[in-house]
Structure 1
Amino acid sequence: MFEERLKQKLAVQKEQGLYRNPPEVSEGDGRTVKVAGRTLINFASNDYIGLGRSETLRKAASDAFMRYGTSSSSSRLVSGNASVICEAERAYADYFGYEDALFFPSGYQANLAILSTLFGPDEMLLFDKHVHASTVKGMQLGSAPFRGYRHNSMSHLEKRIKGATGNPVVVTESLFSMDGDTPPLADLARLKRTHGFRTVVDEAHAYGALGEGGRGIARGVADVALGTFGKAMGLFGAFVLLPSLYREYLLNFASPLIYTTALPEAHAVTALAVLSEVEQADAQRARLAHLSRRLTHLLTDRGFTVCGEAHILAVQIGSEERAHGLVKKLFDQGYFAFTARFPTVPMGQAIIRLSLTANHTEEDLEGFSDTLYRLMG
Structure 2
Amino acid sequence: MNQVAAFPSTGVYELALASRSGRLERQRRQAILWLTGVFWGLHTLALWTADLLDQHPHLLRATAVRLLLMAVGLALCFGIHVILQELGRRSWRQKAPIVFVASLVAAELFAWCTYFGLVYAKGEPIHVAIEGGVVIRTLVPWTWFFLAWVGLYLAVQYSFEARAEERRSAQLRTMAQSAKLQALHYQINPHFLFNSFNSVSALILDGRAEDANAMVERLASFFRVNLATNPDVDISLAEEIALQATYLEIEQTRYPDLSIRIDLPPALGRAAVPAFILQPLVENAVKHGAGTTSAGDAWIAISARQDEDRLEIMVENSCSPSALRPGVCGTHTGLRNVRDRLSNRFGVDAKLSTKRLPAPCFRATIELPLGYVG
TM-score by length of 1: 0.21
Higher RCO, 1 vs 2 (CA within 8 Å, ≥6 residues apart): 1
From the two aligned structures, give the one with the greater helix fraction.
2
| Structure ID, larger Rg | 2
TM-score by length of 2: 0.21
